[in-house]
Structure 1
Amino acid sequence: MKVSYKFLLAACAAVVLIAGMSMRKAALPQVKLGFIPLTDCAPLVAAKELGLFQKYGVDVVLTKEASWANIRDKVLNGELDGAHCLFGMPFSVYTGVGGKAGSEMQIAMVLNNNGQAITLSKDFCGLVGYKEVGKVNAAVKQVQGRKEVTFAMTFPGGTHDIWLRNWMAAAGINQKSVGIITIPPPQMVANMRVDNMEGYCVGEPWNGVAASQNIGFTQIASQDIWKHHPEKALVVNKAFAAQERENLKNVMKAILEACQWLDNIGNRKKAAGWLSKPYYVNAALPVIEARLLGSSDLGCDLGVAKYKEDYMTFYNKGYVNTPRKSHGMWFMAQYVRFGYLKSNPDFKGIAEKLILDDLFAEVAHEAKIPIMTDDMKPFKTTYDVSFDPSNVGAYLASTKK
């Protein structure tokens, strides 16, 4: 029996059409997440490299961004569905400290605790040592006898900015007597190398890189300022959170599984290998690995500091990931304390608007992840007075004494 050429063509076309329809039907929904090259983008990287996003039914595209301002703008305009982001950024942006007041970026979950640091330049070698906060003010004044002193952070009202300002307050430094500038994390070491600033607060590996290159030394880690503090969060576009709730939930489940994997210390060398790649953090593997394992070669002949339960954590039996309204309120209180805001914002109302704690509770329940119940209870950081979220006014009054 003869088969016509036209019939074969038609049959082939039909097969191609059916295959194409099947592929489209099988395609996973795509989600775009941004990140800054920092060690604590590890939950997103691990979820991608371990195939966890696909496991939970989403095709996540990770995009490396140049600065926190880029992250802010792209999350707000929907170019990114979400991002690895400073926990303080949504509050900074909403209150007008770091963006257009009233702009909503929402926090779905916390990605990590601890693991940032303050690096000082070699100008301070021999003047102040590791965690010697009481000697910092005198050291700054001594350096100011030769030059102006400038410190850098990564985003106004972000976590690094607030750790820096709390450290200066604890040290007794008049914050108007020094310069404070904004520099993206990956550019910190290069700027210190050319003497653009004498100190900075940033996430790893950029403190470790400065020490390894003999450009500066680690004076204090952020967990020494506030043990188990919130650091990075999964921050999402408001419309995405509302309109693609199931996709967001699946993204969160993948990241939660990655956070648990990362807190198995035996997996951290593998994670460091991924992070060192040019398309992720692009920094020396030994530096990333050491600090991810809790070992900090401080630089300036200060030796090695070992962190045990308070190194960078991503899960910590569930403690890390619950987003707390009281932590958002604390950040906004710092904006008033340090003069960013002239009057008190609606602390609780803004925190309730920006933190998706109901969503997290739903995801955690489905993923069998513990939900912490300590939100809205008083807490205390290392060098500060106790913060009671039910009486922010009393806290602010006590910081002025």
Structure 2
Amino acid sequence: MSKNVLKKMIGRRSLLRKTMMTFGALATGSLLAISVANAGIGAPEKEELKFGFIKLTDMAPLAIAYEKGFFEDEGLYVTIEAQANWKVLLDRVIDGQLDGAHMLAGQPLGATIGFGTQAHIITAFSMDLNGNAITVSNDIWEQMKPNVPKDATGKPIHPIKADALKPVIEKYKAEGKPFNMGMVFPVSTHNYELRYWLAAGNIKPGYYAPHNGDTSGKLDADVLLSVTPPPQMPATMEAGTIYGYCVGEPWNQQAVFKGIGVPVVTDYEIWKNNPEKVFGVSNEWAEKYPNTHKRVVKAMIRAAKWLDENDNANRPEAVKILSQSNYVGADYEVIANSMTGTFEYEKGDKREVPDFNVFFRHNATYPYYSDAIWYLTQMRRWGQISDQKPDSWYMDIAKKVYRPDIYAEAAQALIEDGLMEASEFPDFATEEGFRPPQTHFIDGITYDGHTPNEYLTKFKIGLKNDDKI
């Protein structure tokens, strides 16, 4: 079946649902909202919506909100479309071709501060925690293995640090060969996680210097990082263009299934329960359609809960949905390898990682200011923010982009609808938007979002204070 035919079928199904629901409402003489889930927030200003996503398992809240009818419960009739890459996706949100999209957490921040495309993008919903890994080719893994500590059975001890890769990179350097690795976008979590892991192993991942017109991110680098769209990662590595990459699922497990590479570390091991994707819209759109926006957030909160509830009991069904070609389009077994609470490193070395993908637990959906500030610190650390900024600047940008106020209104409406309990959310009366200081980083450094400049001084590699490239 062609993608166009499938797309038309999905659109017809949504139209059929809408027609049936409208007819049912009229048949009962109700001119009120179609669903009980419409309490507390006014009618949507815009009902027909189009959302974008990239083919990754962490787009799941969008797929589930659609497939389970949560959008329609809010009077919203949604089309969901895969996008070619992160830049196209962002551009289409900015120019209005998309109403909103599954985004890299750094995209709304990067756009709002003007790194790359300039536009005021906001997020009121965090889509997930964790979900990424770093994979190297079989050849690089064989060179790393002698440097990796092993347990009594000969299995690698995790987490595997970049210290094991450093001698390999030094060998390439001595031979005059560049060491190339891939990540998905300059302001992606993947870029910052890969850089974090490398730098923790005393490997320099390079700097940006936008004030000098250099946005390559390769200045003074031991490892050259370049952008590769997620679905193309395995093939690019197999072709030898890159020796490894950081990407979301299922593209690390795909390398294992194809027998071309080995995931060496997950982002859960780099930074336990790190924020990953967000749902982004333009600020102009959010101001024009405030009720619609809150209803979208309501539907996605319900989807996130569904994905995690009853100890991930719904994950097999979610995997079946995601494996459809109109969503992620990878084999069921490949997606299930990480989505159902396990993760396979070397072929046959499958381990329990119940929190590899988190969609609702640990307040995963709440847009914390401290999450935004962490991304901004990494932009500063690697030169995407050229100049030193006061701590107050970080807070101002976080508040401009991350919108827990909108989230709280959506959550409160779900509580009033009887669909969720107050205990399932932060205490909105006292919540200030900062996680407690976080200690679970691979290098042992503690992060406190209240003091971004002090945090930057803790790193041996990276810009700090008034450093400038």
State if a TM-score over 0.5 links the two structures. yes
Question: Size of the alignment, in residue pairs?
Answer: 375
**Do the aligned residues in 1 keep the contact of 2:305 with 2:360 (CA within 8 Å)?**
yes
1:350 matched to which residue of 2?
Answer: 397
Does 2:444 match 1:392? no
Structure 1, residues 146-186: CA drift from partner, whole Å, max 9, x if none?
64211111111211111111011111112212211011111
2:133 matched to which residue of 1?
Answer: 117
How far 1:374 sits from its partner (Å)? 6.5
Structure 1, residues 221-253: CA drift from partner, whole Å, max 9, x if none?
011111111101111121221111111111111
Find 1:38's aligned residue among 29, 40, 56.
56
2:320 matched to which residue of 1?
Answer: 273
**Do the aligned residues in 1 keep the contact of 2:169 with 2:222 (CA within 8 Å)?**
no
Find 1:135's aligned residue among 161, 164, 172.
164
Query: Percent of counterpart pairs with the same letter?
Result: 32
Structure-1 separation of matches of 2:437 and 2:288: 35
SS at match of 2:231: helix
SS at match of 1:91: helix
Does 2:419 match 1:361? no
How far 1:362 sits from its partner (Å)? 0.9
Structure-1 separation of matches of 2:50 and 2:271: 32
Counterparts of 1:323-334 in structure 2, within 5 Å, are 323-334=367-378
Structure-2 separation of matches of 1:132 and 1:243: 48
Counterparts of 1:278-297 in structure 2, within 5 Å, are 278-297=325-344
Structure-1 separation of matches of 2:335 and 2:397: 36
1:378 matched to which residue of 2?
Answer: 437
Q: Which amino acid aligns with 2:292?
A: N
Find 2:197's aligned residue among 157, 167, 179.
167
Counterparts of 1:173-212 in structure 2, within 5 Å, are 173-175=203-205, 176-212=221-257
**Do the aligned residues in 2 keep the contact of 1:98 with 1:157 (CA within 8 Å)?**
no
Change (3 A) 1:374 1:350: closer
How far 1:143 sits from its partner (Å)? 4.6
Structure-2 separation of matches of 1:242 and 1:67: 27
**Do the aligned residues in 2 keep the contact of 1:124 with 1:143 (CA within 8 Å)?**
no
Q: Normalization by structure 1: what TM-score?
A: 0.88
Stretch deviating more after TM superposition (385-394 or 211-220) = 385-394
Structure-2 separation of matches of 1:320 and 1:180: 29
Structure-1 separation of matches of 2:332 and 2:173: 36
How far 1:381 sits from its partner (Å)? 4.2
Unpaired stretches in structure 1, ≥5 consecutive residues: 1-18
Counterparts of 1:205-224 in structure 2, within 5 Å, are 205-224=250-269
Q: Which amino acid aligns with 2:159?
A: K
How far 1:55 sits from its partner (Å)? 1.3
Q: Which amino acid aligns with 1:375?
A: G
**Do the aligned residues in 1 keep the contact of 2:104 with 2:187 (CA within 8 Å)?**
no
Structure-1 separation of matches of 2:171 and 2:440: 28
Stretch deviating more after TM superposition (275-284 or 37-46) = 275-284
Q: Which amino acid aligns with 2:245?
A: Y
1:339 matched to which residue of 2?
Answer: 383
Counterparts of 1:31-180 in structure 2, within 5 Å, are 31-100=49-118, 103-126=119-142, 127-128=144-145, 131-133=159-161, 134-144=163-173, 147-175=177-205, 176-180=221-225
SS at match of 2:130: coil
Computing the radius of gyration over CA atoms, which structure comes out larger, 1 or 2?
1
How far 1:201 sits from its partner (Å)? 0.6
How far 1:379 sits from its partner (Å)? 2.5
SS at match of 1:180: strand
Q: Normalization by structure 2: what TM-score?
A: 0.76
How far 1:83 sits from its partner (Å)? 0.6
Change (3 A) 1:324 1:31: same
Q: Which amino acid aligns with 1:173?
A: I
Structure-1 separation of matches of 2:269 and 2:172: 24
Structure-1 separation of matches of 2:457 and 2:108: 25
How far 1:371 sits from its partner (Å)? 2.3
Structure-2 separation of matches of 1:79 and 1:185: 22
Structure-2 separation of matches of 1:51 and 1:160: 31
**Do the aligned residues in 2 keep the contact of 1:322 with 1:357 (CA within 8 Å)?**
yes
How far 1:398 sits from its partner (Å)? 2.1
Structure-2 separation of matches of 1:40 and 1:294: 14
Change (3 A) 1:55 1:237: same
**Do the aligned residues in 1 keep the contact of 2:133 with 2:252 (CA within 8 Å)?**
yes
2:349 matched to which residue of 1?
Answer: 303
Q: Which amino acid aligns with 2:165?
A: V
How far 1:93 sits from its partner (Å)? 2.1
SS at match of 1:177: coil
Counterparts of 1:243-254 in structure 2, within 5 Å, are 243-254=288-299
Counterparts of 1:223-234 in structure 2, within 5 Å, are 223-234=268-279
Q: Which amino acid aligns with 1:119?
A: T
Structure 1, residues 185-232: CA drift from partner, whole Å, max 9, x if none?
111111111111011111000000011101111010011111111101
1:8 matched to which residue of 2?
Answer: none
**Do the aligned residues in 1 keep the contact of 2:439 with 2:445 (CA within 8 Å)?**
yes
1:6 matched to which residue of 2?
Answer: none
